Copies of this chain bind each other. A is one copy, B any other.
């Protein structure tokens, strides 16, 4: 479900967090969907349950997930529309600029990049 590489220098919890956010952004996980239980995901990924729990907790604080005590963990309905349209656009532009500069450093054209993202988008 989520991909983790124990040999990669990025901390496991950061990889998992990113991976979950990605699944939501690409529609693989939708609002209200239940995530695997902490212990199940730990077994699947062969990491410690505490590491999974830490990620779920962090994403809950960020408003991305919601946990219901004794029930499970779910994708939260986004209360994410705080910033103004203008601010949001500026924010996206900044993120995109940084990203494009990184990919160009890696020798990728903007076409390569868009093509890659489209492949990863769930239809």
Contact = CB atoms under 8 A, between A and B. Distances in A.
* Copies of the chain in the assembly: 4
Interface string A102-123: 1111111111111011101100
- Interface bin, chain A: 35 or more
A39 interface: no
Contacts of A118: 114
Prevailing SS type, chain A contact patch: helix
A97 B2 CA distance: 12
Given A95-B99, A100-B22, A117 B107 contact: no
Interface string A75-119: 000101101000010011101111111111111111111101110
A27 interface: yes
Contact of A93 (B27, B105, B116): B116
Interface of A: 3, 6, 9-11, 14, 17-19, 21-28, 48, 61-62, 64, 69-70, 78, 80-81, 83, 88, 91-93, 95-114, 116-118, 120-121
